[in-house]
Amino acid sequence: MSIESSFLRIFFTLRHLRAEQFIYRLYYRLGRRVVRRRALRALGTFQPRRWSASWSAPTVSLRTHFAPGVFSFLGERGEVRSVEDWNARTKTKLWLYNLHYFDDLNARGADERAELHTWLIGRWIKDNPPMTGNGWEPYPLALRIVNLVKWFARTDSVEQEWIASLARQAQALYVQEERHLLANHLFVDGKALVFAGAFLGGEPGRRWLQRGLNILDEEMPEQFLPDGGNFELSPMYHASLLWDVCDLIRLAQIADLEELTLRVTGWKQILTRGLDWLQAMCHPDGEISFFNDAAFGIAPTLTELIGYAESIGCPQTKSPERTMVVRHLAETGYAVLDWEEGTRAILDVAEVGPTYQPGHAHADTLSYEWSLFGQRVVVNSGTSQYGEDAERQRQRGTLAHNTVTVDGENSSEVWAGFRVARRAHPFDLEISKGEKGNRVSCSHDGYRRLPGAPIHKRTWEAGPGFFRVSDRIDGRFTSAISRVHLHPDVQLTTDSSLLLPGGRCVRFAVNGGTYEVRASVWHPGFGQSVSNACIEISLSTAESVIEFNWD
């Protein structure tokens, strides 16, 4: 890449950031001594507050700690045998973050592993002095603080050393809130400070509680849009944040603090709308769709979230069976087509978002996923890793999604693992409804930066026994390829048919282009790669159509 191109990429990335992101990034880089001094200030001793009940909530995460120092995260085993292992160079940053989260304290069967968890807490305190290593970075601090508070709040005997460590961790988070990143990172910072302040009390606890509530009061309406969806536009992160909202409501119910009780009604409204959005963004199998960073096994499922919501007095209205319905989630920018039993198409007509923090965004504008007879048929490729390598870039790129690549470029300039420069903007969205079918069409300008300024327009049409996807490229281009990634359980036959599990057959035909079947990879979870097939359609003219038909 030329110096000019690199400059433009950086310019178009930075131009969207907020002033506070620049200010706080400079502060944390240049003011490390100040941050450290504030984190290590004297705190005195703490006595936990009296709650009306011990912590209790559904447990959904799987066990990750199997013996003293033996862990498994993201499908990879590891051991802690020395101080250095907490920050081992042989492990990825994400694996080490998971090591410091302490999720096992509240995983399934956690109460049967009290002795193991006692070892973990004591060993961590011994090996991780304040403000040293991955464990003292704000994001793992925030998740670990919440896990510790939950565990302490249902444990009969909590050692004073543990309480002192929890207080030190809360103070370290208090002086490192992630305003240089914002989005979900700042949200979980706020939640953690609320948990710490609600549990420990005292003057420092009062400060933590108030700071945490201020963050949540600011971020709740910012991050949860009027249609219910989270503004990062990832069903996975949306589900995780809804669990956080459930936790806050549960905390308010047992901590007996007026500051929390006053907010419960608003939190329940956000939870109700958020669950409705998630229901729309899940397939008939009940699992999330793969738009932007998304994978199974990271966030709670829709069923688990509904169960938690009901346990805290926020029951959900069961969605009726709907046929021949199109729903537009206007603020987040998705459209959902429902027709026939177990048949749903989820369409991405969304902006890249949020504008100032698109770290989990993919170049997937005008992509879609489709289920038929309850079986996923067309799937985006998912997410198996973070980082900044070529594979991370490929998974974020347009070719890993069910949309059109023009001249080999991404529709939005994703780069450096979590950055986006120039972005595709959808426009001219049209939704029409009819008794015999529904139609959604939209264009985007992501390729306008290329010679010839091409515009991609896509139309989806759904009706009894058919699903049609039409593409048109307006403007000059050299090549355009539309990709249709198939679920691994869907088999391609030699007569242009798709064989679904259970024997159902779907015929497809391509007009306005030639297609080839290529090997691809689907990533249903972190650390997972499953072989699948991809139908690649090379547009021979400016227009192309693929139509699926079934009896």
pLDDT band at 161 (very low <50, low <70, confident <90, very high): very high
413: nearest Cα among 3, 13, 4:
13
The rounded mean pLDDT for the chain is 96
Taking every pair of Cα atoms in the chain, the longest distance, rounded to a whole number of angstroms, is 75
How does residue 156 score in pLDDT terms, banded at 50, 70 and 90?
confident
pLDDT surpasses 90 at 7 = no
Q: What local confidence, expressed as pLDDT, does residue 436 receive?
A: 82
* pLDDT at residue 413, as a whole number: 97
Measured between alpha carbons, how far is 201 from 364 in angstroms, rounded to an integer? 46
Spell out the domains of the chain, with CATH numbers in brackets: 325-549 (2.70.98.70)
Contacts of residue 383, Cβ cutoff 8 Å, sequence gap at least 6: 290, 293, 294, 295, 395, 523, 526
The answer on pLDDT for 497 being more than 80 is yes
Q: Taking CA 384 as the corner, what is the angle to CA 379 and CA 387, rounded to the nearest 5 degrees?
A: 130
Cα–Cα separations (whole angstroms), residue 524 to 51, 239, 367, 380, 520: 40, 16, 17, 10, 13
Neighbours of 113 (CB within 10 A): 17
Q: In this structure, are residues 166 and 196 in contact, taking their beta carbons and an 8 Å threshold?
A: yes
> At 86, is the pLDDT very low, low, confident or very high (cuts 50, 70, 90)?
very high
pLDDT, tens only, 232-256 = 999 999 999 999 999 999 999 999 9
In tens, the pLDDT along 274-308 reads 999 999 999 999 999 999 999 999 999 999 999 99
For the cut 70, the answer to whether the pLDDT of residue 313 exceeds it is: yes
| Tokens read off for 176 | 């490192």
Q: Beginning with the edge strand found earlier in the chain, give each strand of the sheet holding 368-372 in spatial order.
A: 325-329, 334-338, 344-348, 368-372, 375-378
Q: Is the pLDDT of residue 1 over 90?
A: no
- pLDDT class for 316, splitting at 50, 70, 90? confident
Tell me the C-alpha distance between 325 and 344, whole Å. Answer: 10
What is the tens place of the pLDDT at every residue in 354-392?
999 999 999 999 999 999 999 999 999 999 999 999 999
The yes-or-no verdict on residue 37 having pLDDT over 80 is yes
Element (H, E) at 513: strand 513-522
